[in-house]
């Protein structure tokens, strides 16, 4: 999807600029002109619109996400199709994704546990509803300090599917998710459940503490690593207790039945393993493991831009996090600034005054008397009008018609 929609309008959304771009979608910063608020607008590529399976998955994702209410999940506002363009409008989070923090180097154990505990809570809630995220990775974890004193996490960009579903590719063979953190059963197209997301969370635990994902290199090399190789011992890359290797090894077991019962249990085990160093600084890097890429080496290929939750055919692209949504810098103005500029300051008072005048006119019309009936003479209101009964009965009224008697 190469066309830049900046400056255009989709439904009631004015597109202000590009946040991220990929082969299957483009995420824009946009303004909801009806409500005057900023949103993240993910527009799906036109080439995917005819794919019936993809459209069904898109609608299912949108409906499932809109029904989720959790403090650590990005709220979905709206989704629709306009002129062949499928779009999802989401909350625009002011912060940075977790991948940006990891690129600066390994995180401290305490910070890692604080952030990933929030991710685990959100994922377990999804799993309790029979849903699987399917695209858990640092680029889809947004970190902000705007919610309070501590860093607050939002899980974003779902590749949501139902537990037990299979066939996570489009009709054209596009893989739905990121191979960098994908579980073996996901890559093989086997049934998935909450343990599939747990595998990806364990890989994220490895990445936060080491500054790199567990498997690096070309796409096929990474896939083969997830399918048949053991995750490298973390304690050989950074100065951490060897017991953390057991935690990550269990969380990334090739057999889902050998993993933890849920994501919270994985983080709890990591907390116990890192208890002795939880308050220390970032772990010291010990150098590359045998046959691996140096710890601080970036993923092969250019650094990917932030994008939505779908990825192109993984056999045709360099390994990257192809679906990323990075929130922009702080807007710095009220969400209603745009709407105020569109209406002059005098607009509201003039409308109010006009409405008041209309109300007054209506009240006057309603209260005004209609045609009054002729007043009847009062018998005791004035002396000049007082007539006795006899004179009144004998004297005909001026308007009486004389009657001619017959002879």
Report the distance separating Cα 238 and Cα 227, nearest Å: 24
Report the distance separating Cα 287 and Cα 138, nearest Å: 22
Residue 246 annotated among the catalytic residues of the structure: no
Binding site annotation covers 42?
Answer: yes
Number of Cβ within 10 Å of residue 130's Cβ equals: 12
Token pair 């997830």: residue: 226
Asked if 255 contacts 94 with a C-beta cutoff of 8 angstroms, the reply is no
**At residue 293, what are phi and psi to the nearest 5 degrees?**
-80, 145
Asked if 89 contacts 80 with a C-beta cutoff of 8 angstroms, the reply is no
| Residues contacting 75, CB < 8 A, separation 6+ | 69, 90, 91
Token pair 């989401």: residue: 90
CA-closest candidate to residue 337, choices 32, 12, 7, 28: 32
Report the distance separating Cα 198 and Cα 188, nearest Å: 17
Number of Cβ within 10 Å of residue 406's Cβ equals: 3
| Residues contacting 270, CB < 8 A, separation 6+ | 113, 116, 205, 244, 247, 248
Q: What angle do CA 122, 126, 128 make, to 5 degrees?
A: 115
Q: In what order do the strands lie in the sheet with 96-97?
A: 96-97, 141-144, 152-155
Catalytic site residue from 32, 135, 245, 321: 135
**Which residues face 132 on adjacent strands?**
161
CA dihedral 9, 13, 17, 21 (to 10 degrees): -90
CA-closest candidate to residue 89, choices 30, 33, 156: 30
What SS3 class is residue 379?
Answer: coil
Positions at the binding site: 42
Positions at the binding site for ATP: 42
Catalytic positions are 135
């Amino acid at each position: 999807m190469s066309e830049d929609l900046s400056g255009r309008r989709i439904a009631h959304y004015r597109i202000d600029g590009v946040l991220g771009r990929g082969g299957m979608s483009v995420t824009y910063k946009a303004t909801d002109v009806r409500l005057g608020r900023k949103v993240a607008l993910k527009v799906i590529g036109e080439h995917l619109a005819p794919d019936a399976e993809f459209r069904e998955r898109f609608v299912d994702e949108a409906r499932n996400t809109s029904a989720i209410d959790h403090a650590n999940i990005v709220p979905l506002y709206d989704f629709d199709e306009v002129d062949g363009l499928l779009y999802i409008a989401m909350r625009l989070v002011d912060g940075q994704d977790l991948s940006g923090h990891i690129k600066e180097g390994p995180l401290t154990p305490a910070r890692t546990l604080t952030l990933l505990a929030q991710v685990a809570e959100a994922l377990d809630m999804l799993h309790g509803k029979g849903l699987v995220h399917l695209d858990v990775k640092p680029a889809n974890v947004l970190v902000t300090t705007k919610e309070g004193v501590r860093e607050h996490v939002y899980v974003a960009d779902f590749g949501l599917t139902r537990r037990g579903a299979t066939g996570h590719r489009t009709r054209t063979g596009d893989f739905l998710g990121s191979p960098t953190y994908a579980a073996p059963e996901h890559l093989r197209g086997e049934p998935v459940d909450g343990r599939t997301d747990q595998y990806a969370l364990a890989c994220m635990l490895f990445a936060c503490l080491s500054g790199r994902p567990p498997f690096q290199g070309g796409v096929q090399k990474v896939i083969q690593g997830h399918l048949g190789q053991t995750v490298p011992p973390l304690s050989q890359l950074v100065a951490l207790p060897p017991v953390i290797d057991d935690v990550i090894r269990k969380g990334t077991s090739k057999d889902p039945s050998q993993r933890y019962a849920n994501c919270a249990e994985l983080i709890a085990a990591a907390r116990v393993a890192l208890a002795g160093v939880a308050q220390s600084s970032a772990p010291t890097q010990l150098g590359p493991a045998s046959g691996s890429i140096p710890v601080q080496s970036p993923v092969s290929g250019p650094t990917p831009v932030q994008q939505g939750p779908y990825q192109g055919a993984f056999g045709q692209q360099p390994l990257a996090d192809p679906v990323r949504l990075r929130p922009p810098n702080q807007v710095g103005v009220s969400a209603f600034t745009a709407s105020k500029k569109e209406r002059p300051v005098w607009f509201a008072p003039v409308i109010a005054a006009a409405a008041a005048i209309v109300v007054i006119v209506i009240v006057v019309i309603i209260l005004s008397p209609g045609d009054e009936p002729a007043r009847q003479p009062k018998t005791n209101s004035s002396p000049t009008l007082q007539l006795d009964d006899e004179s009144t009965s004998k004297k005909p009224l001026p308007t009486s018609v004389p009657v001619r008697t017959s002879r």
